[in-house]
Structure 1
Amino acid sequence: MSRLLLVSFGFAVLGGCALTQNGGIGLNALETQDYQRDQRWLPRDFVQVQRAVLQHDAACGTHVRFAVDQVHPNYARVMKSMDAGQKPGHDGWSTTMVLGVQLMTAKPAQATLYSYYMPDRRQIQEMYDIVLHPEVCPGVAQRAKRAP
């Protein structure tokens, strides 16, 4: 009887773990070479990146998140869902693009884009535009400025 109880408890624990994983890929698994989609140098520090994310959210009404890694303070993430209108990580990390930004000594920051699904060129550029051109909203054609 105790063996049956122990086995039942084990399945309950495993079932709980499966539910918390949301059936998708985890952030640590996503940030690997298998899911690396692009890499560039960024002439920004974390304050400038965070400011750009906030400015982009205010201008475009998107759900982009910025977070500094608690274990590695020289690493931060800019996260955006591939599903329009959803928050990053809303149903696991498989539908979230993660721009990992690593501060380098005496160099610009290095940005690496991770995504479970292969984003197209437009989606990749939109992730970098969040940081480099926060006033540019995705899907909105930019008008050429005319001189008065």
Structure 2
Amino acid sequence: MKFSLLTILAVSFFSCQQKENKKDIVYPSDPVSTKEITAEKKDQKNKQNGDTIYMQHRNEKSFFAAEGVLDSIHQKIYITFKNENPGELNAKIITPSGKGNIRFNQIIFPDQTSDGPFGKDLKIPLTQKGNHVLIIGHSQMAENPYFGKFRVEVNY
């Protein structure tokens, strides 16, 4: 009895071991034209993914822009961007109605210090290089939190 139990355990143990997945590299048969590459770059947008928007692509006016949504699930939206040069950060939130209880609650600098709260417009010097995070939400001091679409523009 013990022998059969040990045999079953050994077989199940070895059968459950995961095998290494090897991915084959596939090279396209047709070379990619420069028109296709530029078309892909035009289609790249800064999009909200869950509660975060990664600002990685500048628009035709040479600043970062993205559309986001505040709802009951995502009551704070985190805008992340990487700054390589000291300068001034200019950012603004635009709502369809032009009004609403929405603002920049905080900015978190690369050394994990923070500043805030701010309003819908933000001008602040950036003295540190690295990843910055802007937190957008409604003001806790005001009534009627904003839920809906907004547009954020960031330039540095």
- Is TM more than 0.5 here? no
Which is strand-richer, 1 or 2? 2
Larger Rg: 2
Which is helix-richer, 1 or 2? 1
TM-score using structure 1 length: 0.26
TM-score using structure 2 length: 0.25
